[in-house]
A and B are shown apart, each in its own frame.
Chain A
């Protein structure tokens, strides 16, 4: 059987998870019958694996980061004053970047209640840091105990690797003066932060993305949870569903 141009397109889309379910079934039948096509699949997957494993991720140099940061220097807080939550959140992001979050907490007026903007600011801060986590582990039995002794309650940590969301680790975010455990998962190259706080601290989830970040909120027992990511909204919903459905026990 010869492999046509169309077969190649379908094969690539199949490997990339871009075929709809009906076409997937049909294509898998073809793959089972067509040796040449199956061999090509092996080669493409080998290539993708080699690129992912062996090509180092390019990172912007510290010099470039400084040059870009200098394009938009943060405004001094004291002079400008606060005009709204968005500016507080963004100021927080910049304060974080400048490594002076403690100062912000100390002087930030009225920042006591969690808001979606503050949750996004924490997520952005984590993305800017060299590591989005303080404890890096894909093993929930390492991540969960790390929170013990640091916070009154340790969060529900679930394993979602099988659903395509491997655990990266955890950190503690301070959301409006309330410290809360944050779990970090990955979806392809997107980072997802899952923060939990006592339910009395509900922030409400925005219906529109904030600066390109989507958010899903839900509650479970005494806790409210927020997942924040630049992942597309339906995918983030899927993540939240998988998180809620997963069994937290071993």
Chain B
């Protein structure tokens, strides 16, 4: 593929997903300036790798590159503890109350439904990275389980358990009247 072809494919495949790319980078890095650097790096990689794109799901392809760039960025710029937390450890820290039942009128649901932007943002940002990205890919970006499994490079079962735990944790944080 010559350079002109790469450029035109880049314009077709990558640029339409720039908002999604930025959104994912912002959620993984936790701030806007870093997200912009990550997106720019990811776009460079996408431009170099566009010849290898098989023409399937362009959005998932772009988001996979953004995710990898974001993790590389985290490894370089954050303390290792933040990143190299394996699943087991993360699951340990995500231990949740088993009896999260409430009264018949479900007041917690009403409380969660009223949570404002700042509270939601803070609750999601406080999740460990792998849980946060799974929740964001599903509930903010609207991807299905199979796409999330592809992007985060784990089996669908892992996507399911991360998503369930991420939601439960955010619900715990929001469902407490403070």
| Pair from one complex | yes
B40–A68 CB distance below 8 A: yes
Say whether A94 faces chain B, with CB atoms less than 8 Å apart.
yes
B109–A46 CB distance below 8 A: yes
- Interface digits, B125-143 against A, CB 8 Å rule (1 contact, 0 not)? 0000000000000111110
- Interface digits, A53-73 against B, CB 8 Å rule (1 contact, 0 not)? 011111111011101110111
Q: Which 5 residue pairs of A and B lie closest in terms of their CB atoms, listed nearest first?
A: A212-B58, A90-B8, A189-B142, A58-B23, A42-B109
Smallest Cβ-Cβ distance to B141: which chain A residue: A189
Smallest Cβ-Cβ distance to A59: which chain B residue: B19
Smallest Cβ-Cβ distance to B14: which chain A residue: A68
Return chain B residues, CB-CB under 8 Å to A39: 101-102, 106, 108-109
Smallest Cβ-Cβ distance to B112: which chain A residue: A46
State whether A58 and B26 are in contact (beta carbons under 8 Å apart), knowing that A68-B39, A94-B11 are contacts in the complex.
yes
State whether A42 and B16 are in contact (beta carbons under 8 Å apart), knowing that A67-B40, A189-B141, A212-B59 are contacts in the complex.
no
Complex Cα spacing A63 to B13, Å: 20
Complex Cα spacing A89 to B63, Å: 24
State whether A60 and B39 are in contact (beta carbons under 8 Å apart), knowing that A51-B139, A211-B58 are contacts in the complex.
yes
State whether A87 and B101 are in contact (beta carbons under 8 Å apart), knowing that A50-B113, A60-B39, A94-B11 are contacts in the complex.
no
A97–B115 CB distance below 8 A: no
Smallest Cβ-Cβ distance to A53: which chain B residue: B113
Q: Smallest Cβ distance from B9 to chain A, in angstroms?
A: 6
Say whether B44 faces chain A, with CB atoms less than 8 Å apart.
yes
Provide a sorted-by-A list of 14 A–B residue pairs whose CB atoms are within 8 angstroms: A12-B167, A18-B144, A39-B108, A44-B167, A46-B109, A47-B167, A51-B140, A54-B117, A55-B121, A58-B26, A68-B14, A74-B11, A212-B13, A232-B57
State whether A44 and B171 are in contact (beta carbons under 8 Å apart), knowing that A49-B113, A55-B121, A211-B58 are contacts in the complex.
yes
Return chain A residues, CB-CB under 8 Å to B121: 55
Complex Cα spacing A213 to B61, Å: 12
Could you tell me which residues of chain B, from 6 to 37, have a CB within 8 Å of some CB in chain A?
6-16, 18-19, 21-23, 26-27, 35-36
Say whether A127 faces chain B, with CB atoms less than 8 Å apart.
yes
Say whether B47 faces chain A, with CB atoms less than 8 Å apart.
yes
Q: Smallest Cβ distance from B18 to chain A, in angstroms?
A: 4
Interface size bracket, B side: 35 or more
- Per a CB cutoff under 8 Å, which of A45, A48, A52, A97 touches B11? A97
B58–A56 CB distance below 8 A: no
Smallest Cβ-Cβ distance to B24: which chain A residue: A58
Say whether A35 faces chain B, with CB atoms less than 8 Å apart.
yes
Interface of B is mostly: helix
Complex Cα spacing A247 to B117, Å: 40
A58–B22 CB distance below 8 A: yes
Return chain B residues, CB-CB under 8 Å to A35: 101, 104
Say whether A133 faces chain B, with CB atoms less than 8 Å apart.
no
Complex Cα spacing A152 to B103, Å: 61
Of the candidates B9, B11, B114, the one having the most CB atoms from chain A within 10 angstroms of its own CB is B11
Q: Smallest Cβ distance from B122 to chain A, in angstroms?
A: 11
Say whether B80 faces chain A, with CB atoms less than 8 Å apart.
no
A54–B36 CB distance below 8 A: no
- Interface digits, B53-71 against A, CB 8 Å rule (1 contact, 0 not)? 1011111010000000000
Say whether A25 faces chain B, with CB atoms less than 8 Å apart.
no
Could you tell me which residues of chain B, from 95 to 123, have a CB within 8 Å of some CB in chain A?
98-102, 104, 106, 108-110, 112-117, 120-121
B47–A60 CB distance below 8 A: no
Return chain A residues, CB-CB under 8 Å to B19: 57-60
Looking at A2-10, A142-150, A167-175, the stretch in contact with chain B turns out to be A2-10
B170–A47 CB distance below 8 A: yes
State whether A71 and B99 are in contact (beta carbons under 8 Å apart), knowing that A60-B21, A80-B4, A189-B142 are contacts in the complex.
no
Complex Cα spacing A69 to B115, Å: 37
Given contacts A39-B102, A64-B36, A87-B5, 11 further A-B contacts (CB under 8 A): A9-B164, A12-B163, A16-B163, A46-B110, A52-B139, A55-B120, A61-B36, A64-B40, A68-B39, A72-B7, A209-B56
